[in-house]
Amino acid sequence: MTSAQTIADTLGRRLAWWGGGSVVGGLALAVSSSERVRAFGLQSAGWGAIDLAIAGIGATRSKPVTSPSLRRTLWINTALDVGYVAGGAHLMYHRPSFGGRLTRDRSWGHGAAVVVQGAALLLLDAMHARQLESH
């Protein structure tokens, strides 16, 4: 197994753990009576489900991962993660209602969850991309 493959497998396991924790924790929070907490939970559970799907797809790949391809993908994802954090912060600060579909508290809760999820993905993606730089 190549070192890129080992890094990809480790990333996949970590993403699965994060995704699973986000789903379980998010669903637990989604039953809260607080609109903020409920929105945070629902948003977290949604991101967690997507993380689990991505980890599952990665675990079933048949082609070995190459270092240049994985490195490029992770650095692109890192840039996107910065955008997620910024977008979540925008929701928290400005609290848009999206035409009356969200209350200010829900907007804040969704934004806070996007910040947390984006920051976690930023950490995972950048950490694993840096590991590939040394291989």
Number of domains in the chain: 1
In this prediction the pTM is: 0.93
Sorting pLDDT into bands at 50, 70 and 90, what band is 1?
Answer: low
Domain of residue 73, residue span: 3-133
Sorting pLDDT into bands at 50, 70 and 90, what band is 63?
Answer: confident
pLDDT digit string, tens, across residues 12-59: 999 999 999 999 999 999 999 999 999 999 999 999 999 999 999 999
pLDDT digit string, tens, across residues 123-135: 999 999 999 987 6
Three-state DSSP string of the chain: CCHHHHHHHHHHHHHHHHHHHHHHHHHHHCCCCCHHHHHHHHHHHHHHHHHHHHHHHHHCCCCCCCHHHHHHHHHHHHHHHHHHHHHHHHHHHHCCCCCCCCCHHHHHHHHHHHHHHHHHHHHHHHHHHHHHHCC
